[in-house]
Amino acid sequence: MKAIGVIPARLGSTRLAEKVLKILDGRPMIQHVWERARQSRKLSDLIIACDDERILTCAKKFGGKAVLTRSDHPNGTSRVAEIASREDAEVFINIQGDEPMMHPSAIDQIVEAFEKDPGINVVTCAVRRHDKEDYENPNVVKVVLGQNGDGLYFSRAPIPHFRGEASPAWYLKHLGIYGYRKSFLLEFVRWEPGILEEAEKLEQLRILERGFSIRVIETLHDSWSVDTREDLETVEAKLKEAGNLRCSQNA
């Protein structure tokens, strides 16, 4: 099965301007994302889908494969769909351009899920956590699963609620990486947002509201997105602690 990784990269981010070009531990953030994703064993190709020549130029400098996409995309998924409409592959992996610590094994786990089950259309990842701070943080998305491993609901609220517990026994933190079968992705981006998506500002709820399933794979490696200057500093410290991002599949 052919799977292509796509890194949507928009220059005009609102909370942290030009964040994909921000320097983290000596390299642009988009380069960190590219280098991590390149360690995947399951991708046939990896493409940076950008909206500005500056990202294109940056990618060329570090040897990344980048293409210009339309500037009017409402979100990264739509940008990935533009690439999918041009490329011949069964599965496309949306690898967030602002998550420089996404472990390559998460990509491989997603592709493997498609290989094992031809009936699934969307796959994402989550990591088991126990800390109360992130459990209660609305910027950290949580997910609850059915026994078959499909997502029942994604929320910014602390779910599940552990009644009478001072701290969560555990919860699943949703990671911002998605795999789509091409046919489903091209259909999904044409749908209008639903009530739940508008309420939570979570795009994946559009899929659940329409009655479709999202398979959730539990991974061992956490990841952090960069949305603010504080996030940038936090992730840079984590990169340095991790040894300048030289991870291995067996880590």
Ranges under pLDDT 50 in the chain: 244-251
CA separation for the pair 251, 249 (Å, rounded) = 6
Kindly report, residue by residue over 68-108, the tens digit of the pLDDT. Answer: 999 899 999 999 999 999 999 999 999 999 999 999 999 99
Give the residue ranges of DSSP H helices in the chain: 29-37, 53-61, 76-86, 104-116, 132-135, 182-188, 195-200, 205-209, 229-241
CB 172 within 8 A of CB 145: yes
SS3 206: helix
Q: What pLDDT was estimated at residue 248?
A: 41
Quick one: tokens of 217?
């794979």
Q: Residue 13: its pLDDT value, please? A: 77
107 found inside a domain: yes
- Residue 74 CA: distances (Å) to CA of 13, 124, 133, 194, 232: 12, 21, 31, 15, 24
Say what the pLDDT of residue 14 is.
74
pTM score, two decimals? 0.92
Reference 124, options 147, 141, 101; nearest CA is 141
The predicted structure's pLDDT at residue 243: 67
Distance between alpha carbon 118 and the CA centroid of its chain, in Å? 22
Domain CATH for 179: 3.90.550.10
pLDDT of residue 249: 39
Q: Is residue 246 part of a domain?
A: no
| Domain assignment of residue 124, given as a range | 3-241
**Residue bearing tokens 């602390």:** 158
Distance CA 34, CA 108 (A): 15
Asked if the structure places residue 247 within a domain, the reply is no
**CA–CA dist 98, 225 (Å, integer):** 5
DSSP-derived secondary structure letter, 130: -
Q: Rounded distance, CA 164 to CA 176, Å?
A: 30
127 lies in some domain: yes
Peptide bond into 160 cis (omega under 30): yes
Number of domains in the chain: 1
Instruction: Please check whether residue 251 lies inside any domain of the structure.
Output: no
Given this model, what pLDDT does residue 251 score?
Answer: 40
Query: In sequence order, what are the beta bridge partners of 181?
Result: 91
Q: Residue 227 has what pLDDT?
A: 87
Rounded Cα gap, residues 14 and 67, in angstroms: 22
Is residue 248 a part of any domain in this protein? no
* pLDDT at residue 247, as a whole number: 44
3-state helix, strand, coil in the chain (%, to 5): 30, 25, 45
Q: Tell me, yes or no, whether 249 lies in a domain.
A: no
- Do the domain assignments include residue 94? yes
